[in-house]
Chains A and B, each alone.
Chain A
Amino acid sequence: DAGVIQSPRHEVTEMGQEVTLRCKPISGHNSLFWYRQTMMRGLELLIYFNNNVPIDDSGMPEDRFSAKMPNASFSTLKIQPSEPRDSAVYFCASSLWGYGYTFGSGTRLTVV
């Protein structure tokens, strides 16, 4: 298995633009999590899905953020419109019934 695949690895965008981050979890895993890493807050849980259903999105900063999981092999995290304070590394992770996470390589987002 190739592990959790995230794309793009790096994204630089201008303030106000829409940004879409993508994640392909490990085949067979039933939980998917989106995290954001910043120097100030460390690793923050944004949203997680069980069996493609969003369970808890209380960590999503505001309405500009949205996440979808249309099927078991794909999820997106969208920011519209993006702001400089959204600059961070965004990680996707998947697990099977919570038994340990496998993290993707992350997407480093820079909003200028």
Chain B
Amino acid sequence: ILNVEQSPQSLHVQEGDSTNFTCSFPSSNFYALHWYRWETAKSPEALFVMTLNGDEKKKGRISATLNTKEGYSYLYIKGSQPEDSATYLCAFMDGGFKTIFGAGTRLFVKA
């Protein structure tokens, strides 16, 4: 059974704070780890696709790291803004392209 866990479940921060969340996934049969940003009433939007152990990706104030050997990825947001408020999903994809999503971390950024 594939299990993808994200923590924390939700996070409340002040504008300007930096924050990070964790995604844990199986360390076997790894193909890719995806991060998505999901705003209420919209569809999930791809942030990063990470495939190699040690990968680091960056997009503006958001960055992510990957450790496939121990099965975790971190997503960092530097200087959070109210518009960063969303649910951040990670998804583990195995060698057969089966993709399992975590439950997400819901971020609330207060102005």
Contacts and interface: CB of A to CB of B under 8 A. Distances in A.
Interface string A7-26: 00000000000000000000
Interface in A15-49: 31, 33, 35, 42-45, 48
Contacts of B98: 45, 48, 55-56
A45 B97 contact: no
Nearest to B49: A100
Contacts of B97: 31, 48, 50, 55, 97-98
Interface of A: 31, 33, 35, 42-45, 48, 50, 55-56, 91, 93, 97-106
Given A99-B32, A99-B49, A104 B43 contact: yes
B44 interface: yes
Contact of A98 (B32, B45, B100): B32
A109 to B, nearest CB: 16
Interface residues of B, number: 22
B110 interface: no
A99 B49 CA distance: 7
B99 A98 contact: yes
Interface of chain B: mostly helix, strand, loop or mixed: strand
Contacts of A93: 44
Interface string B85-103: 0000101010011111111
A67 to B, nearest CB: 15
24 contacts: A35-B101, A43-B44, A43-B101, A43-B104, A44-B101, A45-B98, A45-B99, A45-B100, A48-B97, A50-B97, A56-B98, A91-B44, A93-B44, A98-B32, A98-B99, A99-B49, A100-B34, A100-B46, A100-B49, A101-B34, A101-B91, A101-B99, A103-B43, A105-B43
